[in-house]
Amino acid sequence: MEAAKDLGVDITSICGGLGLCGKCKVIIREGRELLSPPSSSEERYLEPGELRAGFRLACQARFSGRGKVVVEVPEQSRSGRQRLLVEGKHVEVELNPAAHIAVLKLPKPSLSDPRAHFERLISKLPHKGSLRADLRVLRYLPRAVKKGNWTVTIVWHTDVGLLDVRPGEDERLYGFAVDIGTTKLAGYLVDLRSGELVSVSSAPNPQIPFGEDVIARIAHSRTEEGFRELHRVIIQGINGLIREACESARVDPRLVVELVVAGNTLMHHLFLGLPPRDLAEAPYTPVIDSPLDVRACDLGVEMLPTGNVHLLPNVAGFVGADAVADVLSTGIHLSSELSFMIDVGTNTEIVIGNSDEMHAVSCASGPAFEGAHIKFGMRATSGAIERVWIDPNTLDVKYSVVDGVSPKGICGSGIVDALAEMLSAGVIDTTGKILEREHERIRKGPDGMEFILAFADETAIGKDIVITQRDVRELQKAKAAMHTGASILMSEMGVSVKDVERVFMAGAFGLYIDPASAKRIGMLPDFPLEKITQVGNAAGVGARVALISIDKRRECWEIAQKIRYYELAAHPRFQEEFMASMYLPHLDLFRFQEVVEKMDGLVVADRHKNLLEKLKSRLV
Amino acid sequence: MEAAKDLGVDITSICGGLGLCGKCKVIIREGRELLSPPSSSEERYLEPGELRAGFRLACQARFSGRGKVVVEVPEQSRSGRQRLLVEGKHVEVELNPAAHIAVLKLPKPSLSDPRAHFERLISKLPHKGSLRADLRVLRYLPRAVKKGNWTVTIVWHTDVGLLDVRPGEDERLYGFAVDIGTTKLAGYLVDLRSGELVSVSSAPNPQIPFGEDVIARIAHSRTEEGFRELHRVIIQGINGLIREACESARVDPRLVVELVVAGNTLMHHLFLGLPPRDLAEAPYTPVIDSPLDVRACDLGVEMLPTGNVHLLPNVAGFVGADAVADVLSTGIHLSSELSFMIDVGTNTEIVIGNSDEMHAVSCASGPAFEGAHIKFGMRATSGAIERVWIDPNTLDVKYSVVDGVSPKGICGSGIVDALAEMLSAGVIDTTGKILEREHERIRKGPDGMEFILAFADETAIGKDIVITQRDVRELQKAKAAMHTGASILMSEMGVSVKDVERVFMAGAFGLYIDPASAKRIGMLPDFPLEKITQVGNAAGVGARVALISIDKRRECWEIAQKIRYYELAAHPRFQEEFMASMYLPHLDLFRFQEVVEKMDGLVVADRHKNLLEKLKSRLV
C-alpha cells in the first residue's frame, strides 16, 4: 500500500489500511517469500484458493526491502475515477456577492497633494469611507499603482475589506464554492459578475485512506500527526479542485477572490485545522458554529492569497454547514409548508420543518451505500452495476452498468435496487434473511447464503458478482439508521407522514437512486412518490447561492440558529426504534398501532419474537 | 567588519560599512601583510602615522582568508551601550484601553445544550453580540476550556476581536508601546489594568549598520535583499526590547496583548515591510497614512501571537506617526494657544499650531548631533563629554563626562555647548570660522584649524579631543536645517516668534541639551527661555497614551489629517533661507529687516558678502 502510494498507483482502500475492508487485494507475481506471512485479517478476507494463487491485502503484506517483488493490481482493486455528483437543482438568486470590483483612476501624487497611495485609493471608492487594509495588499499596492500608470482595479469584500489591487483595468472576478463531503468533494467555479457557473470539478475526499467515515476520521485525528495529516490533505484536495476547475475554464486561480465552504462539522473542523476531539464523544461540542471568514493564505488555499474563505455556519457536532446549505437551497426555511429533507451520504442528515421551526438529526448511515463492507461494493465508477431488476417468477436478473461495460461490482443505487428487488421476489424475507431455495442464483458461500447478480462469464473480473447475507445485514443497518432518524424526528415534532408536503432527496444518492426502491426497503418513510423531489447536490448549490448573494449568506446563520438538533444515539427510544427499523421495509414504532394489527401476517424470525413481545407490551 | 559581526564584537559603524564615516578604526596587531592595501577612503580618514601604526578601517580592510590576523578594537571604536532617552513628560489620561479582559464561567455542554465552545463563550460576554474570531485562537479554545474546567479568561479587542483565551482565572493584561527612532528604539511595558508603566527598555536601532539616516536606509532598501534585511532587523530589535522589558518585570511576553508603534514614516514602512521606494523621491508618497491593525504573528513580533499591533497614523512621507504622537502627548491639538514643537533627531520634525490648524515640516538635520561626521563625536554613552564651558578670557575649558570617567569623545549636548561657548568666547566667528590665534588650544590640524577641548593626558584615548573646522561646518549644516524649517513654517503660517506661547523640545536632545546653548547657536528661533518646555521622548509618551486610551488613539487620526505638511526642499525660499541659517546664530530672513540694520556690526567673511548683497536686493 505504501509503495503504491509512493508510485501513485491507484488501489482501493476504504478502511485506510487497517485491514478491515478487504478491498485492497493484490496479486504477488514474484517474490512471495520476501513478504510477511498472511495476517489474521488476510485470512478473514482472502479465500484459501486466493491465498494459494498469491493474493494478498496490500495494506497487510509487508516487504522486507531486500530483493524484488512484482505486484499486480487486479481490476476490482482499482479505485478508478469516481462518478461524482456535482449537479444540483438550479435556484434563482439575485446577484449580490460579498466581493466587489471597481476600476479607479487615481490622481497623481504631487507636492501639493502628498496623500499616501492607500488614501488616494480610498477617496476614489464608490462608497467613500473606511476600508480595512490587508498588509499583504499594501505591500504590492505602490507597484500596482505605478504599473497601471495610476489606473488600478481594486477588489474589496463587504465583511473583510481590501482583497486585491491590480494594475490597470482588469474586471475579471471569480468565486469558488465547495462541498466537502466525507467521501466526495465537489467544486464550482462561478463568475461573480454574472453569477454564472463557469466550470465544475470533483474528486474523492483525499482523507478516505485515513478512515472511511466520520468516526474513523475522528479516531485518526486523535494523534497530533494524524490531525495535521487530515488537515493537510483536505487543503490539498480543495487546491486540486480549484486548479482543475480553473484550468478547464482557463482562469488564473489568483482571480478567485472568495471561496465558500459547506461540509459537515467534522469536515469544517479538519479544513480549518480546528481540533475535532470533542466531536468524538457526547455531547459532541464543536469548536465554533458561527460563520467564519479566514484569509486564504492563512489556510494555504491556492487562490488569491489575500482572498476570503467563508465557512458556512454549523448547527451542531453532527449537523454541519452542509445541512444549512441544503436548507438554503431547498428554501425549507422560507415556506409555510412542512418539508422533509434527507441528504444521503456516509453521514445522512435529515431536516424537517418550515418557516416557523426546523428540527434535525444526523444518522451514522455509514459507507455501505458507497460500497464499503459490501463484498462486491464499489463506487459509482465505470463498471458498477447501477440498476437491478429481478423477475419474481424466474429470478432472472437484468442490470445496467455505468459506461455500459462488463460489470466489476455494484454501486449504491444498484445495491438499493438489488435489495428492493430481492425483497419483492422473495429472495429475502422482511427480516433480511436470504431464504434457502433450489435455484442456480442462490447458493451457500463462505459467508452464508448468497444471491448471484451476475455470473462470472458476464463480468470483467472473471467471477460471480453476488450479494451475500452479510451484505444484506450491512444494508439493513444503513437503511435502519436513516429510517430511525426520520421516525424519531417526526415523532418529536408531532407530525406524521401525511403532514409532510414536500420531500427533498439530496446527496450523491439523491439523484441516482430510485425513490421507489428506497421506499420499498424502508430507507425513507412512506411518502407518496409524487411528493419526492430529487435535488442532487443541494449542499453544493447552497454554497453557490451563498457565494453569489450576501443576503442569502446572512440567512445561513439564521437557519443554523433556528434548527433544533436531536442527538439520536442519546434518544430514549433509539435502540428500540433502530431494531424495528432493521425490518424490511420497517416496523414503524411511530405507526406501531397499524403495524401490530398486521403483525400476524409478517414472517418473523425466532430471534425477533422477543422484541415483538416487548413492543406489544409497550403499547399496552 | 564582517568577522566582527559574526563574532558579535562591538564596532562602531555609522555609515553602514561604506567607508564614509571613518568610525570603525581598528589596529592590526598581526598579519598586516595578509590584508588588502589601504583604500582611498582609508587614506582620507586615517592619518599617515595611524596607517604606519597599523590602523585600518574595519569596513575597508579585506582579509584573503589564508593565515592568521590579530585585530584590536580600540576604545573609541567601541559603540558601547547608548544612554537612551526613554523618559518623557507624564500625561494624565483616563484608562480605557482597546484590549479588554474578563473571566467567564461557561455552562458545561450537554446533549440538551449542544452549542459550540465559541458560542458558549460569546453568550457570557459582558456585551453580548458578535466578536470576530481568530482561527489561531479557535484552534486552542477547546483545550483552554477543558484545562480551566469551564472557567476561562478571555481577552478581546474593540477593533479586532478575540485575542486570547486562557484556562482558568488569569487577569494579567499588558501592553507595549514603542518609539522607533532612526537611531534609537525606546520601549514601554504597561499594565493595561492600571495604566501604570511597569518597565522600560531601549536599544540602538539595529538598522544603523545599514545606513545612518533616513536617506541612507532608503538607499539600502533599494535592493529586495536590503529591504528585507532592514525589515528583519527592526522586528528583531523590537523583539529584543519586549524581551528585555518583560524579563526585568518578570512578565511572560505572551501576556503582552497589544503593541502600539510610533515612528517616522520610513520606520513605519520598514517595520511593516512596506516598500519605501516612493519615499526616496518627490513627492515622497507613503504607502498608507491611516492607522493600521496587524496581527503580531503576521509580523513575527514576539508577544501574544494573536495579539494586535497598532500602527499610529502618518502625516506624510517625512512626517510620521512619531510627530502625531508628539502632538498627542503635548496636547497642541487641544489648546487654543499657539504652540511650537520640535522633535530633534537624525530627522527633526517641527509642528506649529493649535486646535484650529497645524502645520509641519521635516528637516534632514542628519546625525551630526549623534556624533557622526564629527571627528571625536560619539553617542551619549559612558565617556562622552556632555557639557562644556569655555572661559572667554583664558579659553580654559571645563567639561562634564557621562559616568564621570575620563573622556573618549563628545556627544550631542556637549557638541551644542561647545559650539555655543566657542562662539561666545570668540574662538569662532558668526560664519563659523575658527579664527587663527596664538593659544595652546588653537592649532592647525590635518583638516584645517582645530580647537582642543581636552588634552591627551586628560583623556581615555591617549590623544587630544578636538573640535575641527570641518566639525563646525557639519554642526552648522545640521542646525541650519532645523532653523530653516522653523523659519519657513512660521512664515507660511504668518506668525512670528512673539506669537508663539508654548515651545516643546522633544527627542533625545530635548531633555539633555541646554536650551540656552541651542538658542545661542540658532538651532531654535529666539523664543524666550521661559516658554521652552523640555518634554523628553514625547513620541514614546504619545504611543503609551494611545496604548492605554482608545479615545486618545482615535484622536491620532484626526491629528494626522489636520496637520498640513510642507515639503521643505521644494519650498521656493529654501535655498536662501538655508544659507542664511548657516550663520551663527542665524540671519533670519523672516526677521531680515532687523538683521540688516545691524549688518555692519557683523563679521562677515568675504565669500558671504555676495549673499548679503543678494538678500538686501530682495528686500528693496
Distances (CA, A) of B306 to A431, B127, B138, B257: 58, 21, 11, 8
Asked whether the bond before A585 is cis by omega within 30 degrees of 0, the reply is: yes
Strand pairing report for B442-445 and B161-167: unpaired
The ipTM assigned to this model is 0.79
Q: Tell me if chain A has a CB within 8 Å of the CB of B116.
A: yes
> If pLDDT is split at 50, 70 and 90, which confidence band does A84 have?
very low
Contact B135 A109 (CB under 8 A): no
pLDDT band at A50 (very low <50, low <70, confident <90, very high): confident
More confident residue, A128 or A213: A213
Which pLDDT belongs to residue A230? 96
Q: Per-residue pLDDT averaged across A136-152, rounded?
A: 97
Per CB-CB distance under 8 Å, the chain A contacts of B561 are none
Chain B hits for A275, CB-CB cut-off 8 Å, are 139, 142-143
B409 beta partners:
B384
Domain extent listing, chain A = 2-77, 99-167, 175-323, 326-364+481-581, 368-475, 593-620
Closest CA to B313 of B323, B305, B321, B302: B321
Average pLDDT over residues A303-328: 96
Equal CATH topology for B175-323 and B331-365+478-619: yes
- What are the tens digits of pLDDT across the range B501-559? 999 999 866 567 888 888 889 988 889 888 888 888 899 999 999 999 999 999 999 99
What number is the average pLDDT over the span B343-363?
A: 92
Q: Which three cell numbers stand for residue B20?
A: 564614509
pLDDT given at position A103: 95
**Average pLDDT for residues A576-604, to the nearest whole number?**
64
Residue from A598, A551, A608, A449 nearest A97 by CA: A551
For residue B140, the tally of other CB atoms under 10 A from its CB is 18
Residues of chain A contacting residue B110, judged by C-beta atoms under 8 Å apart: 283
Residues B602, B596: Cα–Cα separation, whole Å: 10
Average per-residue pLDDT for chain B: 87
pLDDT of amino acid A81: 39
Q: If one looks up domain A2-77 in CATH, what number appears? A: 3.10.20.30
> Strands, E, within B269-326: which ranges?
292-295, 308-311
- With pLDDT > 90 as the criterion, what percentage of chain B qualifies? 58
Of A210-214, A511-515, A581-585, A599-603, where does mean pLDDT reach its minimum? A599-603
| Banded pLDDT at A435 (limits 50, 70, 90) | very high
pLDDT at B575 over 80: yes
Distance of CA B606 to the CA centre of its chain: 38
Could you please state the CATH topology (level 3) that the domain comprising A99-167 is classified under.
Answer: Ubiquitin-like (UB roll) (3.10.20)
Residue A104: enclosing H or E segment and its boundaries?
strand A99-105
Rounded Cα gap, residues B540 and B324, in angstroms: 11
Contact criterion met (CB < 8 Å) for A288 and B314: no
Nine cell digits for residue B16: 553602514
Axis-axis angle for helices A574-581, A469-493 (nearest 10): 130
Nearest to B119 among A115, A290, A294 (CB): A290
The listed CATH number (3.40.630.30, 3.30.420.40, 3.40.50.150, 3.40.50.720) that belongs to domain A326-364+481-581: 3.30.420.40
Q: Report, as an integer, the average pLDDT of A13-20.
A: 71
The answer to whether B430 and B583 have CB atoms below 8 angstroms apart is: yes
Q: How many CA atoms lie within 13 A of A261 on its CB side?
A: 31
Q: Are B114 and A277 an interchain contact pair (Cβ–Cβ within 8 Å)?
A: no
Higher pLDDT: A92 or B612? It is: A92
| Interval B133-159 mean pLDDT | 96
Query: What three-state secondary structure class fits B63?
Result: strand
CA–CA dist A516, A526 (Å, integer) = 10
Please state the rounded mean pLDDT for residues A359-375.
Answer: 84
A349: nearest Cα among A338, A339, A357, A361: A361
Helical ranges in B310-455 per DSSP H: 321-330, 412-424
Closest CA to B20 of B262, B216, B197, B161: B216
User: Cβ separation of A272 and B138 shorter than 8 Å?
Assistant: yes
Specify the fold of B175-323.
Nucleotidyltransferase; domain 5 (3.30.420)
pLDDT band at A381 (very low <50, low <70, confident <90, very high): confident
Partners of B199 in the β-ladder: B189
Q: Say if the Cβ atoms of A298 and B135 lie within 8 Å.
A: yes
- How far does the CA of residue B177 sit from the closest CA of chain A (Å)? 20
Residue B529 has what pLDDT?
83
- Can you give the pLDDT at residue B536? 83
Give the H or E element holding residue A413. Answer: helix A412-424
Question: Who has greater pLDDT, B77 or A262?
Answer: A262
* Stretch among A90-99, A292-301, A551-560, B603-612 having the lowest mean pLDDT: B603-612
Q: Nearest by CB to B109, which of A274, A285, A299?
A: A285
B331-365+478-619 folds as: Nucleotidyltransferase; domain 5 (3.30.420)
Per 3-state DSSP, chain B is made up of helix, strand and coil in percentages (nearest 5) of: 40, 25, 40
Please write the tens of the pLDDT for every residue from B192-217.
999 999 999 999 899 988 887 888 89
C-alpha to C-alpha distance for A257 and A82, rounded to whole angstroms: 29
Q: At what angle do helices A469-493 and A412-424 cross, to 10 degrees?
A: 90
How many contacts, defined by CB atoms under 8 Å, are there between A and B?
Answer: 132
Cell 484458493 sits on residue = A49
Question: Residue A297 burial by CB count (10 A; 0-12/13-18/19+): exposed, middle or buried?
Answer: middle
Kindly tell me if the per-residue pLDDT of A85 is higher than 60: no
B451: alpha, beta or left, given left = phi > 0 and alpha = psi -120 to 50?
Answer: beta
Q: Which residue has the cell 439575485?
A: A94
Residue of B nearest to A292 (CA): B133
